[in-house]
Every structure is written in C-alpha cells, then in structure tokens.
Amino acid sequence: MNEKHIISLIGFIHREADKFLENQLKKHNILGIAPSHGDILFNLYKYESLTMQQLAKLIDRDKSTVTVLVNKLVELGYISKTPDLEDARVYNIAITEKGQELRPVFEEISKCLLAKVYDDFTLEEQTLLLKMLQRIKF
C-alpha cells in the first residue's frame, strides 16, 4: 500500500458520497439542494435556531461560504433568516415547516449512505476506522 495515496482516496470517497447524495436527492425530487446544504439542515434539525456565527462554527466553514449556502436555502423556503432583535448585525437562522418536511427523507438518505459506506465492515472495524480518521489533523 502506498501511504501517499490516502489523501487521494479520502477525496475519492468524498466525491463518491456527494454523487450518491445528489442522486438520492434527485430520486426524491428534491431540487436545488447540494450535499453542502446537508450540514446546515442537520444542525438546524438538532438546534432549531442558530446564529450565522454558530452555524459557521458547527459546520467548520467560513462565514461567507455559510452566507451563500444559507441564502440558497432561504430562497428555496427551507430555512428563514431574520435579524436578531437585540443586535441587527446578527442573523438568526431557523428551519421552516417546509424544511422540516425534508427531515425524514434526509434521515433515510443518510442512513442509506452510511449503510453503503460500512457495508463490508464489522462494528469493531467501523469504530476503529472512525477513531483513526478523527486523529488526522491539519
């Protein structure tokens, strides 16, 4: 095994996962959403409402990237973006009813993706792989 290929392999896995997600979204007739929107939606499902800054930190993206992703989801009606009552510079992001309707579909797609990833792994191998990948730091 050539250890120098690990970054290429991780990149390949990421691209394949994105393709899978895009195909699943199309299959469920969910248009306009990219895999990169998933992190935002999953965090809003968990926390219901977050500031742009909190969201950027949770998904580990810069604020300008989050702004573009959030604006697209607002345009599609899946989330809302409102100025904070106490500080107009701060925006609160919340999931809408339309966004909540996607939740079961997203959870099912996520479950299918994980099943595909871990298809031939024992539970012990899954745990070990996750621990090893979490140790990679930049």
CB 13 within 8 A of CB 54: no
Place of tokens 């609160």: 92
For the entire predicted model, the pTM comes to 0.85
Question: 37-65: per-residue pLDDT in tens?
Answer: 999 999 999 998 999 999 999 999 999 99
Candidates 42, 72, 73, 76; CA nearest to 59 is 42
For the chain, which residues make up each domain, given as ranges? Answer: 3-134
CATH 1.10.10.10 fits 3-134, yes or no: yes
Cα–Cα distance list, 15 to 1, 49, 72, 78, 92 (Å)? 21, 30, 22, 25, 31
Place of tokens 């090893």: 132
